[in-house]
Amino acid sequence: MTAAAPAPDRFAVCFSGGSGIAYGLRLVEVLLAAGHEVHLCATEAAGRVLVHEAGAAIDLARPDLASLFAAPLRTRLHVHARDAVEAAPASGSAGIRATIVAPCSMGTLARIAHGFSSNLVERAADVALKEGRPLVVVPRETPLSIVHLENMLALARLGAIVLPAMPGFYHRPQQVTDLVDFVVGKILDRLRVPHELVRRWRTPDAAAGSPWDEGER
């Protein structure tokens, strides 16, 4: 008997202007491919990072984020303008299961930690906190100042999941996408969304053979 596929859920994914837009793009792609509904919003700086890091040819004033995803996936994708504070992620009653800010710039991190809600990304995160729903922030900066660390601590104390973009290397990545999938896999693990992005580490006992579950990616 095969296990029933998990019921589709509704997620808010937010891009801000930290480096590592590939994490956010891959997360959206994987959630959509798994049949979930994704509400996507991005800060103005995220658009700039998209241009620099993904070579995306987008209009920075009104970026067409849907065009970044394959046509069959777009049916479950809802893209919202950064000032659309009437959009679903801005409301506690919209049935968003979890909100993920990936990448999360230090600026957006600070504003979420202090409840600014000055754009849809910050409001979506604020709503997740007030509703007691999972909020995953994926900060990216190095080195980290005391301001950055204190803001992360504040968010962790408020119940957010602070999941830095820190890929491991014990799975022996061969290409950049392996590193991206490592971090995206960690996000999905915290949200209890099943995935096969990375092999699972089972035991470091050499006598037991491979430390990896070879049957599982």
Q: Which is nearer to ligand FMN, 95 or 147 (CB)?
A: 147
Comparing every residue's Cβ against ligand FMN, the nearest one is 17
Q: Give the span between the Cα atoms of 185 and 147, in whole angstroms.
A: 28
Output b/e per residue, 21-40; b: 16+ Cβ within 10 A. bbbbbbbbbbbbebebbbbb
- For ligand FMN, the closer of residues 45 and 58 by Cβ is 45
Residue 99 identity: T
Q: Shortest gap between Cβ of 24 and ligand FMN (angstroms)?
A: 11
Shortest CB 198 distance to ligand FMN, Å: 23
Q: Which is nearer to ligand FMN, 49 or 193 (CB)?
A: 49
| Comparison of 9 and 141: residue with beta carbon closer to ligand FMN | 141
Looking at the Cβ atoms of 19 and 76, the one nearer to ligand FMN is: 19
Distance CA 40, CA 88 (A): 10
Q: Return d(Cα 137, Cα 140) in angstroms, integer.
A: 10
Amino acid at residue number 38: V
Q: How many CB atoms lie within 10 A of CB 177?
A: 13
The site for ligand FMN (CB under 6 A) is made up of 16-19, 43, 45-46, 48-49, 52, 105-108, 140-141
Place of tokens 């096969």: 196
Q: In whole angstroms, how close is the CB of 45 to ligand FMN at the nearest point?
A: 3
Q: How far is the CB of 150 from ligand FMN (least distance, A)?
A: 15
Q: Output the smallest distance, CB 18 to ligand FMN, in A.
A: 4
